[in-house]
Amino acid sequence: MSNHFLMHSDTKKGRRNSESLPQEKQNRVSFTKKTLTLPAFFPDATYGAIHSTPFNDIVPELGGIVVTTLHMSLLGLEAEFTKAGGFKKFAGLPDNCVVLSDSGGFQVLSLIKKNKLGKITDDAAVFRHPEHTTKKITLTPSLSQDIQHTINSDIRVVLDVPLMGDESEKEIRHAVDTTTRWAQEAKQRFLDLHSLTPSEFTNTSPTLTDTEISFSRPLLTAVVQGGNDLSLRRESGAALSSIGFDLFGFGGWPVDRDGKLLTDVIEAFVESVPSDALTYGMGIGMPDDIETCYKIGIKLFDCVIPTRNARHGMLFVSKGNGEKSGRTHNTVRILNSRYQYDLSPIDPECDCPTCQNATRAYVRFLLKKKNPVGFTLASIHNIWWYLNFMKSLR
């Protein structure tokens, strides 16, 4: 029998094979109080690793990372996490590095809405395994919390109904209503897993200031939907606020078809949730957009942009040290021939290990040859630059 939490079925033979989950309340997991400096940017560690970047190279600067719940479960790592005491111990990460686990919702967006591998029902996301077409996966709000509990993450996210941005008002309304119901179910499962009453959940809420958040138990994040409809966005935020969560994430796409940030939608999101809750710009990753969203009120961000762009030769640098790119930064498109003999660091103002030890010419050479060391050097720089950029916003 599979060790995966996710339920599979053989569509050819019509068999259902699933492991029953413990229904009784579990003991509270040992948790050390944590403080996260804000604003914060978390690199994405999709399969438990930041692409091309060893943790030890950036841990001194790192506040936290995002790991993907669905990928972790598809890899069948629950047994390893259970035995180790969670992902952090399994990976050897220091306890003060905050691990945020997503709900699986964004991956559902890709598998169901982009690749047409399944559907969203009233109770769950049901889709075919991306690598085993005869297997179906059923991901419920409660099951998502079970998997995140095994990961033993510090910040957890409730399963939502994701939107692509081109849905009708009826479809957006359905997503908002279903997301609210799923959030209620997910919160109850979270309370059960931690043996918490609703009042205990409230009484142990995190302490939030302009510059940090401190917490003594895992935090739970709701995802506000509503698309670009300001009224539905506010309605979603209000409904989720009435249930009560520690964080509120911006669900959906924050930019229009031209890539312009939808500031009115961002403002509606921030205004719709409690002022004493941390707001999370899920997937918002361009420096100019981060600065704008921070000014509006969002203080936590994550995105694949630093490492993805690094692998394709786009490196972020401070103003005046590269090609003009945005309001807050320049870029070095390192694969351009102009850098072939450039012996300067990627960014003379950066103190990352790459800038301290490698030249632009060398990084360019490695990337041109698709040498993995080049991916690592470029990724370390971009992540380090982003973390320093967050410091500058403070």
Name the residue with tokens 């029953």: 20
**Catalytic residue from among 44, 246, 289, 302:** 302
Q: H helices within the chain, ranges in order?
A: 55-58, 69-74, 78-84, 87-91, 105-108, 141-151, 169-193, 198-203, 230-243, 263-272, 287-296, 305-311, 353-357, 360-368, 372-393
Task: Classify residue 121 by its DSSP letter.
Answer: -
Question: Looking at 102, 146, 246, 347, which residue is catalytic?
Answer: 102
3-state secondary structure string across 196-230: CCHHHHHHCCCEECCCEEEECCCEEEEEECCCCCH
Copy the structure tokens of residue 67. Answer: 């790991």
Q: How far apart are CA 62 and CA 388, in angstroms?
A: 10
User: Is position 229 annotated as part of the catalytic site?
Assistant: no
DSSP codes joined into one string, 311-339: HTTEEEE-TTSSEE-SSS-EEEETTSGGG
CA distances for 31 relative to 95, 143, 393, angstroms:
9, 22, 30
What is the spatial order of strands in the sheet that 323-324 belongs to? 314-317, 330-333, 323-324
Contact 320, 261 (CB under 8 A): no
Check if 57 is active-site: no
**Residue 144 in tokens:** 């998502």
Rounded Cα distance between 125 and 165, Å, is 19
In contact, 268 and 233? CB cutoff 8 Å: yes
Catalytic positions, written as ranges: 102, 302
